[in-house]
Structure 1
Amino acid sequence: MSGVSGRVLVVDDNRVIRQLIRVNLELEGFEVVTAADGAECLEVVHQFQPDVITLDVVMPRLDGLRTAALLRADERTRHLPVAIISGCDQDEVAKGLEVGVDAFLPKPFEPTQLVELVRGLLLPPIDGRPGTGRTGTSQG
């Protein structure tokens, strides 16, 4: 494995999904830490200092949309690109956009889509905000 491409915090309450995302990103050179829900994400984010955060929507204790809102409200994390990886409906996508989510990837997904999404969020900004080299979806 050549140099690390970036640091990703993967947040999902499903252990199998967390591991699937972790393995696919690590194979591409990313350093990955996982959290089981939004509350754990908020505990880990300052220690790990990720370059990108992926969030599931439906999780115990603190769901993905509320977690994204809290990340955006904190000056230490508001700059971090946040992607929702979940089986979102239109209402959840709209709420995600309202709270500042940068990208969405529906489950189930292909590993190449996941890698493209994360790499896209690491591209230089195009509108002054970090992580906005590609926005909205995993498609270019």
Structure 2
Amino acid sequence: MLVVDDDEVIRQLIAVNLSLEGFEVETATDGQDCLDRVASVRPDVITLDVMMPRLDGWMTAARLRGAAETGHIKIMMITARAQEEDRRRGLAIGVDAYLTKPFDPAELIQAVRELALAARAPGG
């Protein structure tokens, strides 16, 4: 599990909630940090903020989807951008789930659990 958000408070909130549910969690501070670390972390699921410095969530998701080594990783966008056009953009890139801030921790955990199960399923 790799949690990517430039806001330290949000990043730690997500990481702690998922850790308490038994997920092994690593964190990254922005999209470039995510891409730099993804090979060593080898996550089943990545949560991505949209608005980040250096490399935003849209470009990060597109690069993850476009690479053979990372194209299979489940991606959940967690963002304050709640417009329908943002959701459509995420779906077009291949994002697996979309959660808007502020979010309910129980909803976060359930969505990540479902993505992790799907990642481990045959052909996942």
The TM-score normalised by the length of structure 2 is 0.93
Cross-structure match for 1:90: 84
User: What secondary structure does 1:123 align onto?
Assistant: helix
Q: Which structure exhibits the higher relative contact order, with contacts defined as CA atoms closer than 8 Å and separated by 6 or more residues? A: 2
Contact 1:79/1:129, CA 8 A, preserved across alignment: no
Structure 2 residues not aligned, in runs of 5+: none
Residue of structure 2 equivalent to 1:26: 19
Unaligned runs of 5+ in 1: 1-7, 131-140
The reply on whether 1:107 has 2:114 as its aligned counterpart is no
1:11-65, CA deviations, whole angstroms, 9 ceiling, x for partnerless residues? 0010000000000000000010111100000001000000100000000010001
Q: Identity rate of aligned residues, in percent?
A: 54
CA distance in structure 2 between the aligned counterparts of 1:55 and 1:42, rounded to whole angstroms? 11
Q: Does 1:43 align with 2:36?
A: yes
Counterpart of 2:16, as a letter, is V
Moved segments of 4+, more than 6 Å: none
| Number of equivalenced pairs | 121
Mapped to 1, the partners of 2:116 and 2:6 lie a distance apart of: 24
What RMSD over aligned residues (CA atoms) do the two structures have, in Å?
1.3
In the alignment, the residues of structure 2 paired with residue 92 and residue 85 of structure 1 have an alpha-carbon distance, to the nearest angstrom, of 11
1:66 is aligned with what amino acid? Answer: M
* Change in 2 beyond 3 A, CA 1:9/1:96: same
> Counterpart of 2:62 in structure 1: which amino acid?
A
> What code does the residue aligned with 1:90 have?
E
Contact 1:52 1:82 in 2 (8 A): yes
